[in-house]
Structure 1
Amino acid sequence: MRTWYHSWRAAIRIARRDALRAKGRSSLVLAMIALPIVGVSAADLTFRSSQLSPEQQLARDIGQADARLTDPLMGGVPLLQSPGNEYSSPEGDYENKPYPDGSTDVAKAVPQDARTLSDSLERAKLRTEHGLLNTEIRELKAADSMVKGMMPLTGGRFPQKDHEVAATDYFLENSGLKVGSKLTARNLDREYTIVGSYELPGSLKTDQVNALPGALLAPLDKALDKAGLRPTHPDTSYLVEVEGGFTWNMVKEANAKGVTVDSRAVIMNPPADSEVPLFQKEDAQNYGLSPAADNATLAVIGTVVLLALLEICLLAGPAFAVGARRSRRQLGLVGANGGDRRHIRAIVLAGGLVIGIAAAVVGTLLGLLLTYALRPVLEDLVGERFGHFDVRPLELGAIALLAVVTGLLAALVPAISTSRQPVLASLTGRLGVRKSNRVLPVLGLIAVALGVAIALYGSLMSDQFLIVAGGSALAELGVVALTPALVGLFGRLGRFLPLAPRLALRDAVRNRGRTAPAVAAVLAAVAGTVAVATFAASDDAEIRSYYEARLPHGAVALGVDEAGGAREVPGLRSAVEKAFPVGVRADVDRLLVGDPGCTTYDGYGSDNPECGRYELITPRANECPLWVSDPKNPEADPADRFSKAERRKLTEDWRCKNTLGGGYAPLDVVVGDAKVLKVLGIEDAGAEKALADGKALVFDKRYAHGEDKLRIRMVTDLKAADKAQSKGGTAPGEVKSFAMHRMEGGGQSYGVPVIMPPDAAEAAEVNTLPYGAYYSTDRMPSSEERQRLDSELSKTGVQADLHIEEGYQSSNNVMMLALAVFAGLITIGAAGIATGLSQADAEADLKTLAAVGAPPRVRRTLSGFQCGVVATMGVVLGSAAGMLPSVGLRLSERRSEMQWFEDALAQGHGSIDDKPFVPIVVPWTTLALLLVAVPLGAALLAALVTRSRGALARRAAS
């Protein structure tokens, strides 16, 4: 008795033999299906291997200790934390009072009889072979057994004496130093010897140097204090080893003292949620990832997998169709000997099954081997070590099953169409008359219209980005359905083409069964690339519009904010002038308030009572009403005193606008001469004359008292000033008056409110100190010149702020190029596959051309044009389809930002000049690369790899 098992067994045997006979075509399909399996399996192995078990994560975080005690900087108030210390919050309600802030003594929470190790982190500038490198300093006794697993040694040993240090491999690579080299810090004469190297498994790309506690930071603090500089403030935690482990009750006791704890015992065996006070708070649902976020992630992953399946099926389907046509005589014999349609379908489907199983095995094995071999490279790319090589058989089996399903799906349509062919037509080799499908184009048109309508609704009427994405996806599927009809329309261009491209185009149109899926695959890849590229280019243009230059392009600004640094300013000014191609140098000073010996920059944030600050006084009539607090209720929002319509109107008032036009200047008053105007690009004879006459230039007209006065309050008592301003009053201080010249169009000042000539400050008996300089350059300084200058500046030991105005630097250029290359590779691959199939399908036509006297190069030329035709059609259709989602998303984003802007104006915040700019920019460079370079490259590549002479064939038996 014959059963389905026997028929399928015979079908699989036939399919296996057919695959072995047509090794080229079989290898092509196998590669198409196996390559995604290689990628997915490798991604699964990489993801699983990068995930750490709790034991592995604890070894990296706390070594072999029982717990780490950390200061969460909440002022020592009692707090609540999650068992794993992912979240913590102060105990009690702080909605109507200041949120706790400040440090606390972590040592007070250490249990008695516990062994501890202090772990301090701070950053400092260390001298290297190339200059100075901002490096993380870690003071921890790393040789202790409690630290095992946190900092694995890669060479040498850990420090055992105060003059010894160890460094990460990444620091040694960047610094040019090695084990045995001498190391020094800026402002510190003491030398240290590098005795070992190590790595941080969870952060391989970290510049870090390890020293014994008190061996490096304490001497550095003394050196900084001696130089009048700010000391370091290390972040110190404690590793604790306690008998019996650090229990959950001990964690809660430490929380009561304002300290958070990472406990090994609690993380390995967490308490029930009912025992965690943090989870009992009303806002406990805020902790953790919401199910909606999980669902969104799964939806994205599922969409990517489905699109990948569609792409493979579109490319592999024509291959099975060609294979079925090449075997049509064999399939006809099956029908002539009593086989029915289901047997023929089974044979073609068995071909997909055989190829799918082979692709699953090959892809999975290659994924395993590649991931294992490239593990060091992947770890460097990710920036952390894997825990172990984690192989999940069930997951890899599911991925392999995906290959089998893909093979069956790709063979499904060819199996159905082949089984419907008459037996006689299969035996004689006649294809018969094939009618085009008229239903599919109609469905495609409906899908395109509906998708465009949905996308427009989502972008213009709704705030849901998913509606735009869904409509765009539907429209793209509609274009895919329209592809066979569109390929037919392309065929009408053949009359205008020379012989070879005309033959290639007509062959593509005549064999739409293999051309349309390849074009659709190219279309899908290019559409995604164009959509992302258009969105990225538009977003880049938006960010560029918000960029505010600090100086004219190519100009340089030097400033020294560091206390005590004024004495080094003359030398720094000369160093910049020698290192860079300087055109004009404009020295600038800053105002000094308080004791002439005070060296603190402007007094802001200073605890020195001898230092003060200055304030530019705004006349009451020039103050924006939305910004002026009510003296009776200084903590209330000033805008609440006005209605929505009044607030909206006030935002258009000049007093509530940024009259400086943006930019950033570290000084409110720049003391300098007319050379400052030249560097800033201000060509104004009246301004130069005003500076020469001792008048201050005022760019922000809010500070103008009448037509000719600028007033500055010199605040010397900071405590009294802060007390008065907290009550809505005015800070006490002497008011100085200066003659001024008001500048129109403040945007040209690059954020500088006032430029004051030195004579005006001297006449008003206001002290000044050297601050820095502005420079114009003949060209942009090179990287070598910058490195040499950094080395010169580091010799002074002063922290100087050096800014070179390079203009807006886009971060999307590399991404745009990568997108174009990615789409190009897929396009060339898909077009090449279609060309290979057309050559296999049209071998008889090529032999006929050779028989009638066509030269050998015709075969190569025809192959190139066949590939170029498919690539061109796919790129053109994909570029058009890819514009819809990007335009829809940008319109939706514009609507959302405009709504936010209008709400802000209604609340009295912002200015009418802050109207959002959400442009839609077409990435012409990417499109040109796709539309011209990719089809041309595909055609040339196909022509180069095609043999110009075909093999002789025997006459087919009749």
Structure 2
Amino acid sequence: MRTWYHSWRATIRIARRDAWRAKGRSLLVLAMIALPILGVSAADLTLRSAELSAEEAAARSMGAADGRLSDTGWGGTPILQSPAGDQYAPAEELDWQTVPEGPVDLASVLPEGATTLRDTVATAKLRTAHGLLQTDIRELKPDDPLAEGLMPLLSGRLPQSPDEVTATSHFLETSGLTVGSTLTARGFDREYTVVGTYELPNDLKADQINALPGALIAPMRKALEADGLPTPSASTTLLAKIPGGFTWNTVQEINTKGVAVASRAVAMDPPADSEVPLYRKGGWTYEESAGAKAAALAAVGTVVGLAMLEICLLAGPAFAVGARRSRRQLGLVGANGGDRRHIRAIVLSGGLVIGAAAAVVGTLLGLVLTFALQPLLEDALGKRFGAFDVRPLELLGIALLAVLTGLLAAVVPAVTASRQSVLASLTGRRGVRRGSRVLPAVGLVAVVLGAAIALYGSTMTEQFAVVAGGSALAELGIVALTPALVGLFGRTGRLLPLSPRLALRDAVRNRGRTAPAVAAVLAAVAGTVAVATYAASSDAQDRADYVAELPYGAVSVMAPEAGGREAPGVRETVQRTLPVELRADVDRIAVGKPTCSMWDQTDGCGWYEVVVPEANQCPLFTRDPGRPADEDPALRFSVEERRQLARDWRCTEPEGPGSVTEGGVLVGDQKLLEVLEIDDPAAAKALASGMPVAFDKRPIDRHGRIGIKLITDTEAAEDAAEEDREAPGAIRHLTVHAAAGEPQTYGVKLIVPPAAAEAAALPTLPLGAYYSTDTMPGSEQRQKLDGELDKATTDITLVVEAGYTSKNSIVLLSLAVFAGLITIGAAGIATGLAQADAEADLKTLAAVGAPPRVRRTLSGFQCGVVAAMGVVLGAAAGVLPAIGLRLTERRQQFAWRQEALDRGWGAFGGEPFVPIVMPWGTLAALIVAVPVGAAVLAALVTRSRGALARREAA
């Protein structure tokens, strides 16, 4: 008895034989399906291997200990924590005035018999072979049993004396040091010898050194304090092992003493959410929302769906060509009693066979490559794998996806082949084929509906999903319209020379293989253009939002501490090291003792304020004495009044970086204008004559003067602040020149010539200098300068303005390369199928005397035509979603600003700038370079001569 099993077995044998006969076409389709399977299986293996189990994660974070205890910083106030111990909150509302100060003794909260190990970490600048490097300094006894697994030793040995350290391999690579080198910390001259290297399995790129407890951090802090330098803060946690481990009940008991615990036992067996008091605390959010999960799943589904669509579009024509090449065999099946379902089964079996082969090949290659590239993958991820985690069910699901893709790609060719008559199949006639009118109509409706949805989403709502959904629908509509659009392209053939005209005519006549390839290119290019347009627009917005601290290539150096005693030497160091063109020295107004730093307001160190006349103060930020002190001043105005005041010149801060000094006041001359590239001859003339120049008109009173209040009595100023009144102080008035327009001044609001400062009895101290350079300082010059400035005993602020650096240049280049590869691949596939399908026409050309180069030229133009049609349609389709998303962002940002004004939050900056910028470079590369490159490549790899065949016997 014959069953379906025997029928399918026969069809699979036929499909396997045909695949073996047409090895080139079969390998092409197999590669198209296997490559994505390889990538997905490799990604699955990588993610699963990088995902640590609870035991592995605990071993890396707490070694062999049962838990890690940390002080929350709330003086022992009871807390509630998450099971992992990384999130916590006070158990009750805190009254900060009654919170005890000082750290909690972590060991005191443990029961008797506990074994502990302290782990202290601080950050400091260490001297290296190149200069200074910000490094984590750790003090942990590495040979303690509790520290097992925390920092595996790679080479050398562990430190045995206080003057020995080990370092991470990344630190040695970055610093230029080796095992046996000595190192010191900035401001601390004691030398330490590197005796070994280790790594942090969870952070392979960490720059860290480890010393014995008490050997480095405490002596360094003591030395820095003695020299009056800032000391690094240190944090200490406690590794502990107790009888029975840290159960959830034990953790909660320790929480009552203000200590958080990361427990191994809790990590292995976490409590239910209902048993975690922190999660029941009002307003606490502890898990990802359902909407976010749905969005993530939708994104994954979309990517998988588009990948399958791409493969089906490219593999479908290959199965169609294979079915046409086997039409005589299929006709014999029908002549011997086979019906349409048998013919469909044979073609579908071809997809099943190649899909299964692609599944096996792709999965095996994914396994082998992931295992072989594990060290490189670990370096790229910056962490070690826990174990090589192979999950058979997941890999089986990925393999079944390949089989499903092969079957889907063969569905349309199977239906088409089954509809041909037996006579047409046996005689090789294709018959008259008419294009479907339903598909273009459906595509046109989808384009119009999708565009309308995207337009509605970008103009009437603030939901990105609406714009994205409408754009996707419109793109699918263009894919459905592709056969009709290919026909429209054919009308331009009469304007072309012979070879491109033949290529275009062949593409139009064989839309069954041309349209899918064009649609595949369209989909890839549309996505690339959409992302590239969005990225270019975002980049333009970031460029506009970028706040330059100085003109491009300019340099500033400031020594604000210790009364400016370091400033003269620092000025000369920069002058000597960098390619300086012009130097402008600047001083600052100093109130109090000459040794006071610029921001020092302790006893004997005063400060100054730039007085803004009451008429020039912004009403949105000025409190009414008759209203409550804690009331927002802006709320006394109506919404419309707040909107009008937001555009008032008194309420608009000048654009630019923050002020270098209080009120942006600098003491200097006209050279500063040249360095800041402020072209104002009247201002330069005023400075040369000794008159101050103001770039902010708000402090200027009706007499053309600016008042600077000198506050010397710190105690009286504090009393005034408590009583909500102005601090007492003497006011020095300066008659100023108001600069014309609103030039970019980079935070400088008032330039006072030295003579004017002296005449107004304003005390000054050296601050630093501004420089313009001949060329942008290079990396070696910067490193050398940092090394020279490090010789100073106070902190130096150095700024080298390198201008805006685009974050999307690599992204745009990668997108162009990706789309180019997809385009060339799809066009190449279509060209190969065209040559296989039109071999008889090529032989006819050779028979009638066409020169050999016609074959090569025709192949090149066939490839170029497919690529050109795809990139043109894709570029047009990809612009819509990007524009829609940018318009939605624009409406959203304007709505946020309007809400801020309506709620009385004031006006922060000007109106939002959300531009729409076309990536012309990427578009030019796709529309021009990619089709030309595809055509040239296809012409180069095509043989000029083909073998002539004899006439078939009748």
For residues 263-309 of structure 1, the C-alpha deviation after alignment (integer angstroms, 9 at most, x for no partner) is: 1122222234343221222224x111112211111111011111111
**For 1:373-772, what aligned pairs fall within 5 Å after superposition?**
373-561=372-560, 563-564=561-562, 566-598=564-596, 600-603=597-600, 608-631=602-625, 633-658=628-653, 660-667=654-661, 668-718=664-714, 720-772=716-768
Whether contact under 8 Å (1:33, 1:403) holds in the other structure is: yes
2:921 to 919, 925, 939: 925
Amino acid at match of 2:782: R
Q: Output the CA distance in 2 between the equivalents of 1:630 and 1:103.
A: 40
Deviates more, 1:216-225 or 1:330-339: 216-225
Q: Output the CA distance in 2 between the equivalents of 1:106 and 1:818.
A: 53
Q: Output the CA distance in 2 between the equivalents of 1:565 and 1:422.
A: 99
For residues 775-823 of structure 1, the C-alpha deviation after alignment (integer angstroms, 9 at most, x for no partner) is: 0112222223222222222233543222122222111111100110011
Deviation at 1:501, TM superposition (A): 1.0
Whether contact under 8 Å (1:170, 1:207) holds in the other structure is: yes
Deviation at 1:663, TM superposition (A): 2.8
Gaps of 5+ in 1: none
Aligned to 1:892: 888
Aligned to 1:810: 806
Q: Output the CA distance in 2 between the equivalents of 1:107 and 1:641.
A: 51
Aligned to 1:841: 837
Percent sequence identity is: 64
Name the SS for the 2:657 alignment partner.
coil
Deviation at 1:625, TM superposition (A): 1.0
Name the SS for the 1:795 alignment partner.
coil
1:411/1:102 Cα in 2 relative to 1: closer, same or farther (>3 Å)?
farther
For residues 453-495 of structure 1, the C-alpha deviation after alignment (integer angstroms, 9 at most, x for no partner) is: 1111111111111111111011000000000000011111111
Alignment of 1:357 onto 2:353:
no
Q: Output the CA distance in 2 between the equivalents of 1:75 and 1:488.
A: 78
Deviation at 1:680, TM superposition (A): 1.3
Whether contact under 8 Å (1:736, 1:764) holds in the other structure is: yes
Deviates more, 1:608-617 or 1:495-504: 608-617
Aligned to 2:223: 223
Q: Output the CA distance in 2 between the equivalents of 1:546 and 1:876.
A: 33
Name the SS for the 2:390 alignment partner.
coil
Deviates more, 1:150-159 or 1:266-275: 266-275
Whether contact under 8 Å (1:274, 1:280) holds in the other structure is: yes
Q: Output the CA distance in 2 between the equivalents of 1:181 and 1:912.
A: 52
For residues 146-187 of structure 1, the C-alpha deviation after alignment (integer angstroms, 9 at most, x for no partner) is: 111111111112222111111111111111111111111112
Aligned to 1:317: 316
Name the SS for the 2:930 alignment partner.
helix
Aligned to 1:42: 42
Deviates more, 1:714-723 or 1:119-128: 714-723
Whether contact under 8 Å (1:529, 1:819) holds in the other structure is: yes
Name the SS for the 2:703 alignment partner.
coil
Whether contact under 8 Å (2:26, 2:354) holds in the other structure is: yes
Name the SS for the 1:950 alignment partner.
coil
Whether contact under 8 Å (2:532, 2:922) holds in the other structure is: yes
1:68/1:203 Cα in 2 relative to 1: closer, same or farther (>3 Å)?
same
2:851 to 848, 855, 874: 855
Q: Output the CA distance in 2 between the equivalents of 1:290 and 1:251.
A: 27
1:911/1:338 Cα in 2 relative to 1: closer, same or farther (>3 Å)?
same
Aligned to 1:333: 332
1:664/1:141 Cα in 2 relative to 1: closer, same or farther (>3 Å)?
same
Deviation at 1:97, TM superposition (A): 8.2
Name the SS for the 1:725 alignment partner.
helix
Amino acid at match of 1:410: A
Name the SS for the 1:450 alignment partner.
helix
Deviates more, 1:216-225 or 1:455-464: 216-225
Name the SS for the 2:620 alignment partner.
coil
Number of residues of Structure 1 aligned to a counterpart in Structure 2: 950
Whether contact under 8 Å (1:699, 1:754) holds in the other structure is: yes
Deviation at 1:18, TM superposition (A): 0.5
Q: Output the CA distance in 1 between the equivalents of 2:650 and 2:99.
A: 36
Deviation at 1:913, TM superposition (A): 5.9
Whether contact under 8 Å (1:71, 1:104) holds in the other structure is: yes
Normalised by the size of structure 2, how large is the TM-score? 0.97
Q: Output the CA distance in 2 between the equivalents of 1:126 and 1:208.
A: 10
Amino acid at match of 1:197: T
Deviates more, 1:312-321 or 1:767-776: 767-776
Whether contact under 8 Å (2:620, 2:906) holds in the other structure is: no
For residues 888-928 of structure 1, the C-alpha deviation after alignment (integer angstroms, 9 at most, x for no partner) is: 11111111111112222223444496111111111000000
1:761/1:119 Cα in 2 relative to 1: closer, same or farther (>3 Å)?
farther
Alignment of 1:905 onto 2:901:
yes
Q: Output the CA distance in 1 between the equivalents of 2:546 and 2:98.
A: 33
Name the SS for the 2:24 alignment partner.
helix
Aligned to 2:936: 940
Amino acid at match of 2:531: V
Aligned to 1:132: 132
Deviates more, 1:228-237 or 1:355-364: 228-237
Aligned to 2:952: 956
Deviation at 1:954, TM superposition (A): 4.5
Whether contact under 8 Å (1:550, 1:665) holds in the other structure is: no
Q: Output the CA distance in 2 between the equivalents of 1:277 and 1:720.
A: 48
Q: Output the CA distance in 2 between the equivalents of 1:276 and 1:293.
A: 23
Aligned to 1:236: 236
Whether contact under 8 Å (1:596, 1:767) holds in the other structure is: no
Amino acid at match of 1:650: L
Name the SS for the 1:191 alignment partner.
strand
Aligned to 2:297: 298
1:907/1:662 Cα in 2 relative to 1: closer, same or farther (>3 Å)?
farther
Q: Output the CA distance in 2 between the equivalents of 1:554 and 1:76.
A: 52
Whether contact under 8 Å (2:454, 2:468) holds in the other structure is: yes
Whether contact under 8 Å (1:634, 1:726) holds in the other structure is: no
Amino acid at match of 1:499: L
Deviation at 1:107, TM superposition (A): 2.8
Deviation at 1:108, TM superposition (A): 6.3
Normalised by the size of structure 1, how large is the TM-score? 0.96
Amino acid at match of 1:249: N
Q: Output the CA distance in 2 between the equivalents of 1:590 and 1:158.
A: 51
Deviates more, 1:661-670 or 1:713-722: 713-722
Q: Output the CA distance in 1 between the equivalents of 2:74 and 2:509.
A: 75
1:211/1:734 Cα in 2 relative to 1: closer, same or farther (>3 Å)?
farther
1:827/1:18 Cα in 2 relative to 1: closer, same or farther (>3 Å)?
same
Q: Output the CA distance in 1 between the equivalents of 2:153 and 2:953.
A: 75
Alignment root-mean-square deviation, CA? 2.0
For residues 19-50 of structure 1, the C-alpha deviation after alignment (integer angstroms, 9 at most, x for no partner) is: 00000000000000100100110111111111
1:352/1:291 Cα in 2 relative to 1: closer, same or farther (>3 Å)?
same
Whether contact under 8 Å (1:314, 1:520) holds in the other structure is: yes
Name the SS for the 2:791 alignment partner.
helix
Q: Output the CA distance in 2 between the equivalents of 1:647 and 1:314.
A: 57
